[in-house]
Structure 1
Amino acid sequence: MPLPFFKKLFASTEINTLAESLVNELTRRYPPSMASGEGRRLSPQAVTNILESVINKGVSKSREWNLGLFGKARLGNAFRWALTDKGYPEKFVETATEALVIYVTRQGDRKSAASGKA
């Protein structure tokens, strides 16, 4: 019985792949050069909408995979590193990573709370 738990805990390949795919989508829709203020600018609302869309995909997958505390932390770190590798500014990396971790954590808490009340 413990084997599936440990498999999920240490299966970082899927988590890293998810983080990379989230960052690739973000890069496609909001490149690092735009985040640095070069070229065309997007409104703050447009950037928020893009981030929410990307983060919601991460939340959906974390719920589907039933990620625990360590999995969520690993996703946040992999997302941070992938954003940094793509060349996003540090402030943007901090904000985007914090948003992902908060939403992934809150969605998991809501699911637990909902199932506990039933």
Structure 2
Amino acid sequence: MKIIETLKFKKEKVFAAELAEQLARDVSPELMQKRRKALSVNKITRLLEKTYTKAQTFQQENSMGFFRRSIFVNAFQWELKSRNYPEDFSTMATEGLVISLMKKPTQ
């Protein structure tokens, strides 16, 4: 049963990893840790909004309910942590993802 559950949510976990990878390409964890003050708040906001928009599109295309969203968000947060993003950034980015996924889709 555990194998079936793991395979069942693989798509969400893979996409969460892809989002974290894209974010790491746009703003590296090393830069966030060592030279955070050199980063523009507007740039970080734009990058996170781009990430959230991709996540919203994925949610709409895959009809994610509460449980699938939870798995997706958890996987995203762990991906950020595994890439050594600062704890406060990982938490803030994850909270933003949760909020964006709770919004009603715009038509």
Q: 2:45 aligns with which of 44, 48, 51?
A: 48
CA-based RMSD of the aligned residues comes to: 2.1
Q: 1:12 aligns with which of 4, 9, 13?
A: 9
Higher Cα Rg, which structure: 1
Q: Distance in 2 between matches of 1:55 and 1:39?
A: 21
Higher RCO, Cα 8 Å, sep 6+: 2
Q: 1:76 aligns with which of 69, 73, 82?
A: 73
Unaligned runs of 5+ in 2: none
Equivalent positions of 1:1-118 (< 5 A) are: 11-38=8-35, 41-106=38-103, 110-111=104-105
Q: Percent identity?
A: 28
Matched residues, number: 102
Distance 1:39 1:93, change over 3 A: closer
Q: Distance in 2 between matches of 1:31 and 1:40?
A: 14
- Residue 41 of structure 1 and its aligned partner are, at CA, apart by 2.2
Unaligned runs of 5+ in 1: 1-6
- Residue 38 of structure 1 and its aligned partner are, at CA, apart by 2.9
**What is the TM-score with the length of structure 2 in the denominator?**
0.87
**What is the TM-score with the length of structure 1 in the denominator?**
0.79
Matched residue of 1:36: which SS? helix
